[in-house]
Structure 1
Amino acid sequence: MTFSEILRKENEDLFQLIFEHPFVQGIGRGDVPKEALAHYIKADYEYLNAFMHIYGIAISKSAERKDIAYFNQQIEFVLNSEVHPHHNFCQQIGVNYEALQGYPLPPTADHYVKHMMYHAHTGGMGEILAALLPCPWTYWEIGLELMKQYEPDENHPFYTWISFYANLRVEAVTMNMRNRLDELAEAASPEERQRMKEAFRKSCQLELGFWEMAYTCEEWPAGNPAAIR
């Protein structure tokens, strides 16, 4: 069993909780509350900006050109491709994409970004990949699960979103990251492998928390800290 297969097995509980979350199931049914969709887009836009910055940190730590090329490709994917599922949500709530950009991260998304930043700055390449991997991996499997469970066609309100994440390109993103993590895990010490496992599980927990954050329209208690001067 490869290292990434072990990670998937050890985190089956969290993957299932994500698949069963009411926001995710609402995408499958086509009936997510508009407020939740807007809150998701606001947070995910800034989260993906941070994700690209973390890819940049990974490039700065890359000793091999294949890693530099991979992370460069991933920045392009986030920058130019992941806007399409966002636009699908925007169309359903009748709000321009630009109107949902530039908002401060809610608490859970803020925690998630800082968790990944911590591993990017203090960890090696394997640790960085382990912290990043649950994002594409859970979304790819969400797409597959919703395709299987609901069999949406082009008339489904979230067909664009579901089909985007169920497609071969997101699978390739996931598998490329998994394969590189497996290579690094082979050469890692037991302590490094344990840090990879911990980074991966916390990211899975925060993926679940992100869906809950969006569904409940989570805000900072007593106002956003960024607004305090």
Structure 2
Amino acid sequence: MTFTNQLRKENDDIFQLIFEHPFIKGIGEGHVPKEAIAHYIKADFEYLNAFMQIYGIALAKSQKRDDIQYFHDRIEFILNSEVHPHHNFCDHIGVGYEELQGHALPPTADHYIKHMMYHAQMGGLGEILSALLPCPWTYLEIGQELMRKYNPAKDHPFYRWISFYADDRVAATTMEMRNRLDAIAAHASTSEQEKMQDAFRKSCQLELNFWEMSFTCEEWPSKEKVVKK
């Protein structure tokens, strides 16, 4: 069993919870509250900015041109391709994409980014890839699961979102990331592998929490937002 196959097996409980989350079910059924979608895009726009910055850190730590090219290409993909599912959500709720950019991060998104930044700063490429991999991998399987379960037609309100993440291109890029992590893990010490497992597990859990954060429109606690009994 490869290292990433082992990671997937160890974290199947979190993957299943993601598939069953009401936000994900809502995408499949074509009904997600507009406020939840807006909250998601606000956070995800900033999250993806941080994701690219972490790729940049990995690029700076790379010793081989192949690795440098890989992380460069991943930044380009987010910049020029991963905006398309955001546009699908924006079109659905009738809000311009620019209006949902530049907002403060909710608590869960803030924590998720700092979790990845920690591993980017403190770990090697294996640890960085382990912290990053749950994002594309869970989205790929979400897209595949929704396509299988709902078989959406092109007039489905979230067809573009679902088909983007279920696409072979996302599958190929996810597998490439997995292969790179497997190659690193094969030469890693037990201690290094344990750090990779921990980084991957926590990112999976934070992916689940990110959907919950979006669905509940999570905000930082403050005196003004406390509901008086």
In structure 2, the partner of 1:137 is 137
In structure 2, the partner of 1:226 is none
Partners of 1:197 and 1:96 in 2: CA distance: 39
User: What displacement does 1:188 show?
Assistant: 0.2
What are the Cα deviations for residues 60-116 of structure 1, in whole angstroms up to 9, with x where unaligned? Answer: 000111111111010000001011000000001000000000001100000000000
User: What displacement does 1:20 show?
Assistant: 0.4
User: What displacement does 1:220 show?
Assistant: 0.6
In structure 2, the partner of 1:29 is 29
In structure 2, the partner of 1:166 is 166
Partners of 1:167 and 1:15 in 2: CA distance: 19
What are the Cα deviations for residues 131-176 of structure 1, in whole angstroms up to 9, with x where unaligned? Answer: 0000000000000000000000101000000000000111111101
Within 5 A, what are the aligned runs for 1:1-229? 1-222=1-222
Partners of 1:168 and 1:75 in 2: CA distance: 19
Amino acid at match of 1:71: F
TM-score, normalised with respect to structure 1 = 0.97
Aligned Cα root-mean-square deviation (Å) = 1.0
Amino acid at match of 1:184: I
Unpaired stretches in structure 1, ≥5 consecutive residues? 224-229
Amino acid at match of 2:123: G
What are the Cα deviations for residues 187-228 of structure 1, in whole angstroms up to 9, with x where unaligned? Answer: 0000000000000000000000000000000001118xxxxx
Amino acid at match of 2:124: G
Question: Identity of aligned pairs, percent?
Answer: 72
3-state secondary structure, aligned to 1:187: coil
Unpaired stretches in structure 2, ≥5 consecutive residues? 224-229
What are the Cα deviations for residues 15-40 of structure 1, in whole angstroms up to 9, with x where unaligned? Answer: 00000000001000000000000000
Partners of 1:149 and 1:92 in 2: CA distance: 21
TM-score, normalised with respect to structure 2 = 0.97
3-state secondary structure, aligned to 2:208: helix
Partners of 1:147 and 1:112 in 2: CA distance: 27
Amino acid at match of 2:106: P
Partners of 2:14 and 2:124 in 1: CA distance: 25
Moved over 4 A (4+): none
